[in-house]
Amino acid sequence: MAQESSINTASRRTRILNNHLVQYPSKPTSCLQSNSCLSYTLPESTESFGFDIKEMRKIVDFHNLEDRDWLFGVIKQGRVFNGKERGGRLFVSPDYNQTMEQQREMTMKRIEYLLERGAFDGWLTKKGVEAELKKLSLLEVIQIFDHSLSVKIGVHFFLWGGAIQFMGTKRHHDKWLRDTETYAMKGCFSMTELGHGSNVRGIETVTTYDSKTGEFVINTPCESAQKYWIGGAANHATHTIVFSQLNINGVNEGVHAFIAQIRDVNGNILPNICIADCGHKIGLNGVDNGRIWFDNLRIPRENLLNLVADVSPDGQYLSAIKDPDQRFAAFLAPLTSGRVTIATSAIYSSKIGLAIAIRYALSRRAFSMTPNGPEVLLLDYPSHQRRLLPLLAKSCSICNESSNALGNASSVNWPCNFCLTAAYCLYAMSFGGNYLKMLYVNRTPESAKTLHVVSSAFKAIFTWHNMRTLQECREACGGQGLKTENRVGHMKGEFDVQSTFEGDNNVLMQQVSKALLSEYVAAKKKNKPFKGLGLEHMNGPVPVIQPNLTSTTLRSSQFQMNAHCLRERDLLNRFAAEISLYQSNGESKERAFILSYQLAEDLGRAFSDRAILQTFIDTESNVSAGPLKNVLGLLRSMYALICLEEDAAFLRYGYLSTDNAAAVRKEVTKLCRELRPHALALVSSLGIPDAFLSPIAFNWIDANSWSSAQQ
């Protein structure tokens, strides 16, 4: 028996070794045989469109649709944009498997490709509203492809080029703008320092004037004064705008901007300049962020950007604005473009994440509710909604459906899905972004304050919303959300920086509250009506919220606006009173403001929510009666009521009774149920071509098949 067992064991081991060593010819077909497995169903085959998605796109994208589509086509056709076929579809996306150095070089190659095809024509040399809107629309398309590419281009055109355009005068325009537009020179923007970011007035770089040679001399006096996070500085930039304290005859005249060359035409760093790399980052590795030190760098007197102030050849400081605070404000006013482009960029990033996550949830199934029953779409699970709604949808709550309904979940469209509600908020922010762009391109000296306040508020709100959206969309896609090729997870790292660059969001919201307080104090002091920043509602009677809110009332735009105005005016009154109380107790105005930070944050959000809602109402009012207007009405009500439901201020300060808060909660559930059938139509209206989404937005089974893996 023992011998027989030994023979059997040896025979079995021989067969195993033989299977390892002998290669049998592969069959020409797939090694996976057909079975009754899951199959992909195109959402369009089961979901209907209840409104014209082309008309909705016109409202959402708002301007330059043909220009956008042209550039989408240019990118899809270019090899440098890394087009790959997955699941029978073409997708374009950067190759994030590349090293940091390779990503940076690919960014420059893509810029050169777009330059050759005229994508940047007129970006700095053409004037007018149409030219500016076209530039903004093309930048939005570029950022849909790759954030690194859009940031690199944005630094060159909007920061370097924008500083010359709006802070310089004719001598600067004639010398630098054309060469900037053609990339004959590559610009960067040296404002941020190791020791100072948001506090621009505190930067430590020092510039003096040598009247004997007619030159400015720039110095980095200490390590904390090194220029930091300067996009383009590490590898490619040949010139930079240097922000520095200007010291004339021993008097510090405050922060000014100077043009300095940092590399020669061959890319060599010039004398008296040291440049180091900021290194690898959690995102945006296609941008070469660098650090710069200046050691007695001499530049011509003419390189001072002198729209606000100048220095004469003999060293006299000249400015028509004598007040240093007003001069500083006028000096930085033209730099609003950065916040505008970041705000709109965040909206398009959210669009990508939502389009991918919602399309995936409309085709991916998991678990069945009955024995041997079909598995349920992710979009139809209450748990999928509960887990993600609080962060995405202004805390949209979900009601519990009956056990009978749960038992038939495969045929029930569950109300109020997380991604849908995020999309509802996204539509509101899209309209807010369009308002912000029009405010920017039609800017005047008189509108400078409004532009500053609105751009600060919207930049903060939109970028915060974008990060929440991307996180929840990543989770909603499960393990597939981790794959870089599916975009959503990777975009979190790419866009995280938006919360802090071009102004820390929390600091920006404090600036909003300060501006509102300034308007309040001025109106009360002069005993004049409020005018500007949308505060005209403060001139009327205090809105009254009915004790028992009906569905009709809750969906009324008048009620929604009244509720938002009530919150804003009350918080502004409370904020002013608290500041005054602190000051009466001996605190300085600055200290009082710091101590009142909670009310300041509440007020900043109240202003933002009310302003966004107003843009939604204005947009809706311009649409003719019909299915499209009906859907917009539902979306507007969803956004407004989510704001009421999320912000504890409505209950904390008694704007809503507990019964009315419950009524809001119930109405949100009704709205979710009514909007659920429009899920696919809403994301299909966002204007993003299929190639700019990801494989899981479409046939994710074919995209992950064995045959696809062999390509």
Q: Specify the DSSP class assigned to residue 27.
A: P
Same domain, 303 and 357: no
pLDDT digits (tens, 9 = 90+) for 7-39: 555 555 555 545 544 444 444 444 444 446 888
* Strand pairing report for 89-92 and 187-190: unpaired
Q: In 3-state terms, what secondary structure has residue 213?
A: coil
Strand partners for 375: 368
SS3 650: helix
- Shared domain check, 289 and 345: no
Q: Work out the average pLDDT over 548-560.
A: 97
192 and 269 in a single domain? The answer is yes
Average pLDDT, the chain: 89
Residue 413 lies in a domain: no
Question: Is residue 64 a contact partner of residue 137, using CB atoms and an 8 Å limit?
Answer: yes
Query: Above pLDDT 70, what percent of the chain?
Result: 89
Residue 291 and residue 365 in one domain: no
Tell me whether residue 454 is in a domain: yes
DSSP string covering 239-286: EEEEEEEEEETTEEEEEEEEEEE-B-TTSPBPTTEEEEE----SS-TT
> Which helix (H) or strand (E) covers residue 50, if one does?
none
The answer on pLDDT for 416 being more than 70 is no
Q: Round to whole Å and give the CA distance between 111 and 148.
A: 11
Give bridge partners of residue 299 from the DSSP assignment: 216
Q: What is the pLDDT of residue 372?
A: 83
Token pair listed for 63: 């301007």
Output the CA angle 680-682-688, nearest 5 degrees.
90
**Phi, psi angles (nearest 5°) of residue 192:** -60, 140
List the alpha helices (DSSP H) in 270-381: 324-332, 337-361
**What tens digit of pLDDT does each residue of 202-255 get?**
999 999 999 999 999 999 999 999 999 999 999 999 999 999 999 999 999 999
CA nearest neighbour of 120 among 157, 72, 168, 162: 157
- Whether residue 384 sits in one domain with residue 278: no
Is residue 613 a contact partner of residue 643, using CB atoms and an 8 Å limit?
A: yes
Q: Do 108 and 233 belong to one domain?
A: no
For residue 381, being part of any structural domain is answered with: yes
User: How far apart are the C-alpha atoms of 145 and 534, rounded to whole Å?
Assistant: 35
Q: What is the pLDDT of residue 349?
A: 95
* 28 domain residue, yes or no: no
Angstrom distance (rounded) from CA 546 to CA 559: 9
Cβ-proximal residues to 29 (8 Å cutoff; 6+ apart), any chain = none
Is residue 583 domain-resident?
yes
In a domain, residue 11? The reply is no
Q: Which amino acid does the sequence have at 12?
A: R
Are 362 and 431 part of one and the same domain?
yes
Task: Tell me the backbone φ, ψ of residue 209, rounded to 5 degrees.
Answer: -120, 130
Residues 205 and 313 reside in one and the same domain: yes
pTM of the prediction? 0.89
Q: Residues 472-519: pLDDT tens digits?
A: 899 889 999 999 999 999 999 999 999 998 889 999 999 999 999 999
Q: What is the pLDDT of residue 397?
A: 28
CB 334 within 8 A of CB 370: no
For residues 355 and 429, membership in a common domain is answered with: yes
- The answer to whether residues 214 and 300 touch, using CB atoms and an 8 Å cutoff, is yes
CA–CA distances in Å: residue 561 to residues 385, 585, 604, 606: 27, 36, 16, 11
Q: Which domain holds residue 456?
A: 341-396+421-697
Average pLDDT over residues 679-692: 93
pLDDT of residue 647: 92
- Positions annotated as catalytic residues are 502
pLDDT value of residue 688: 96
Report the pLDDT value the prediction gives residue 457, as an integer from 0 to 100: 97
Distance CA 378, CA 486 (A): 18
Query: Is residue 238 located within the same domain as residue 369?
Result: no
Residues 312 and 318 sit within 8 Å (Cβ to Cβ): yes
Residue 300 falls within a domain, yes or no? yes
Q: Is 455 part of any domain? A: yes
pLDDT at 389: 33
For residues 107 and 204, membership in a common domain is answered with no
Supply the pLDDT for residue 316: 96
DSSP-based three-state secondary structure for 315: coil
CA 564, distance to chain mean position in Å, is 24
Question: How far, in Å, are 392, 464, 608 from residue 389 at the CA level?
Answer: 5, 15, 20
Estimate to the nearest angstrom the gap between the alpha carbon of 630 and the chain centroid. 28
Produce one character per residue of 209-239: b if its CB has 16 or more CB atoms within 10 Å, e if not. beeeeebbbbbbeeeebbbbbbbbbbbbbbb
Together in a domain, 552 and 464: yes
> What pLDDT sits at residue 421?
59
The confidence band for 330, taking pLDDT boundaries of 50, 70 and 90, is: confident
The total number of structural domains that make up the chain: 3
Known binding residues: 192, 231
CA dihedral 320, 323, 324, 325 (to 10 degrees): -120
- Which CATH number does the domain housing residue 313 bear? 2.40.110.10
Annotated binding site for FAD: which residue ranges?
192, 231
233's enclosing H/E stretch is none
- Beta-strand ranges (E) seen in 174-264 are 187-190, 206-210, 215-219, 227-231, 239-248, 251-261
**Cα-Cα end-to-end distance for the chain:** 52
Give the 3-state secondary structure of residue 430.
helix
Share of the chain above pLDDT 90, in %: 75
